[in-house]
Structure 1
Amino acid sequence: MQSFSEIDTTSKRASRAAGFAWGIAEEVGKNMRNLEMFGLPGIKNLNLYLQNIKKNPSEKPKKIAKENRPQSKEFCPIYCGTSFLDNCKMLESFKLIKFFNVSYPLLLLPFLSRASDLVGKKISVQYEENNFLLNFDKTIFSKNIKNDHIVSLAKEITIEFLENNNSFSAQEWKELYKLSEETFVEETDSLRTKGAGAGLTDND
């Protein structure tokens, strides 16, 4: 089994050999490490994509808008990803962004995952019946993805910035906060007896 360090280094070198600048190739290396760490088929997708663009180079996005369509070819997921990451704080105001005709869309995910961390919001991604929830570059939850099925072209990718909401009610928070305040109540004989304080034998 290859180590994550080997995955990073080999992916970086292969991306550079395929024509990407060293800076972008380094990002790809980190991304493949993360995808494999999350149990997603990053290496499979990268290998197929790099082989494909030798004969059929893909297109860079000129500027990311709410809806993005390539002029003639398929969009490059790596260039789409770097552009999205570089501009994510501005793109957050769009709330919902769509890309059309993107090659090997799984390769876009790690860039979006890092964008989630930068803007401090979860990001939802959907394409070809695959659903992902990106959590501040800490985890990627996936639904319906099959590791033995590679999506070589996403006709449409939907990216949504999700508002941060508590998973608990205001009443639950009040109850827990009230309980936490007991930590600061002056110790009494009653509390000592119940074991809430330092105790009678803990005074060394």
Structure 2
Amino acid sequence: MGFSWGISEEVGKNIRLLEMFGLPGLKNLNQYYKIYKISNFENIDEISASNSPKTFYCPILSGLNFFDQSSAISKFNEIEINKIAFPLIFLSFVSRTSEIIGKRIFLKMDDKEFLFNFNESIYSNYLTGDVLEKSDKINLKFLDNKNSFTEDDWAEIYNLSLKTYVDESDKSRERTAGAGLTDND
């Protein structure tokens, strides 16, 4: 017996996402499917600040619950998840959660680090294409959004923009100075 159509569709989206970000999603999913029926993986029904199973958590069901509870879990500064099987599969749910809550998420999995940027990119020190069958400990931190520039930097670039103004004329439009014929103002 496999997963429902809805869950399977979410898994497909997430594996595609991992592959687009250069992570071995398909390879990990294939390994997962070989053992999931005999493994008795557990599910995290309600995500809390600290989560520990008796065996290992299922990356798909736990990932779906993580994603579904995204607004509730964003109240935590940090979340710890112990013992999760095939953790790379779980990562895709974290990436999508980053987009939903509008925050970057820093994840440390054993000795590997991942930074999720609103489901637009994943920065990581994990560069191999290996299958990761388990992780003993995952720590997640929800990062506050901060500008990488100061108010002075912003004022300086704004003042520079004021100096780049080009007077609009028929001649400049014909020569396509500035946006000319293609702008809306």
TM-score, normalization: structure 1?
0.79
Q: Which of 119, 140, 159 is the aligned partner of 1:137? A: 119
Work out whether residues 102 and 118 of structure 2, in 8 Å CA contact, stay in contact via their aligned partners in 1: yes
User: What does residue 168 of structure 2 align with?
Assistant: 198
Q: Aligned with 1:62: secondary structure?
A: coil
User: Are 2:126 and 1:126 equivalent residues in the alignment?
Assistant: no
State the distance in 2 between where 1:123 and 1:73 align: 26
Work out whether residues 130 and 145 of structure 1, in 8 Å CA contact, stay in contact via their aligned partners in 2: no
Q: Which of 98, 109, 123 is the aligned partner of 1:116? A: 98
Q: Which of 27, 43, 56 is the aligned partner of 2:26? A: 43
User: Any gaps of 5 or more consecutive residues in structure 1?
Assistant: 1-17, 185-195
Quote the offset at 1:170 in angstroms.
1.7
State the distance in 1 between where 2:8 and 2:155 align: 49
User: Any gaps of 5 or more consecutive residues in structure 2?
Assistant: 175-185
Q: Counterparts of 1:1-204 in structure 2 under 5 Å? A: 19-70=2-53, 72-147=54-129, 149-182=130-163, 196-198=166-168, 201-202=171-172
Q: Which amino acid aligns with 1:48?
A: Q
Work out whether residues 85 and 112 of structure 1, in 8 Å CA contact, stay in contact via their aligned partners in 2: yes
Quote the offset at 1:203 in angstroms.
6.8
Q: Aligned with 1:59: secondary structure?
A: coil
Work out whether residues 131 and 145 of structure 1, in 8 Å CA contact, stay in contact via their aligned partners in 2: no
Greater relative CO, 1 or 2 (CA 8 Å, sep 6+):
2
Q: Which amino acid aligns with 1:140?
A: I
Q: Aligned with 2:107: secondary structure?
A: strand
Q: Aligned with 2:61: secondary structure?
A: helix
Work out whether residues 45 and 62 of structure 2, in 8 Å CA contact, stay in contact via their aligned partners in 1: no
> Measured at CA, do residues 203 and 20 of structure 1 come closer, stay the same or move farther in structure 2, by a change above 3 Å?
closer
Work out whether residues 116 and 136 of structure 1, in 8 Å CA contact, stay in contact via their aligned partners in 2: yes
